[in-house]
Amino acid sequence: MQRGEIKALLERCAAATGPDTGIDAAIAVALGWSRLPPPKDYDRPMPSLWADPAGDVRGALAPCWTGSLDAIVGLIEREFPKSRWETGHYFIRTYDSWGATAHIDSPVAVESGYKNQPFNPISIGHTPALALCAAFLTAKLSLTGADK
């Protein structure tokens, strides 16, 4: 994932008010997922399928990371094993309504007893899944190096 790509996805997560298949698809592409064309001999309309980076076919839609806590937590745990994540539901002044906050503590922070925390800023979203998506993207952003 490139810094500009991550920043654009963060802006989209902040603006989203609920699950968004467009954001899910953009995250999938940024993570190396690909769309497979329908089989040529299939005689009815069929959506193209998504394949994960290992090439395993996963279905007609990218995972619903923006709408499913199970999906986004699974992604966080795959991409950041041994990290710790947290989400909460609070009144968020940015939205002037209730929303969610989330952060991910890096494995380095967890293993060092929180003496070294390379990424853990609080992210916000209209829902817990969106807040965790933003936290995931923020963690990815922190690993991409200097601003380009």
Residue 148 lies in a domain: no
Range of the domain at 88: 3-142
Residue 107 is assigned to a structural domain of this protein: yes
pLDDT tens for each residue of 49-100: 899 999 898 888 889 999 999 999 999 999 888 787 888 877 666 666 677 8
User: Does residue 13 belong to any structural domain of this protein?
Assistant: yes
> Which pLDDT band holds residue 117 (cuts at 50, 70, 90)?
low
Question: What CA–CA distance (Å, rounded) separates 132 from 101?
Answer: 8
Give residue-wise pLDDT tens across range 6-36.
999 999 998 999 999 999 999 999 999 998 8
Residue 43 has pLDDT above 60, yes or no: yes
| Structure confidence at residue 144 (pLDDT) | 75
d(CA 134, CA 14): 7
Residue 33 lies in a domain: yes
Say if pTM beats, i.e. exceeds, 0.85: no
At 141 the pLDDT is 84
pLDDT at 147 over 60: no
Nearest CA among 89, 88, 85, 95 for reference residue 16: 95
What residues are paired with 92 via a beta bridge? Answer: 97
Residue 147 lies in a domain: no
Number of domains in the chain: 1
Residue 53 lies inside a defined structural domain of this protein: yes
Q: Which of 119, 138, 139, 130 is nearest to 92 (CA)?
A: 130
| Any domain includes 69 | yes
Confidence of residue 148 (pLDDT cuts 50, 70, 90): very low
Assigned domain for 102 exists: yes
Report the pLDDT value the prediction gives residue 108, as an integer from 0 to 100: 60
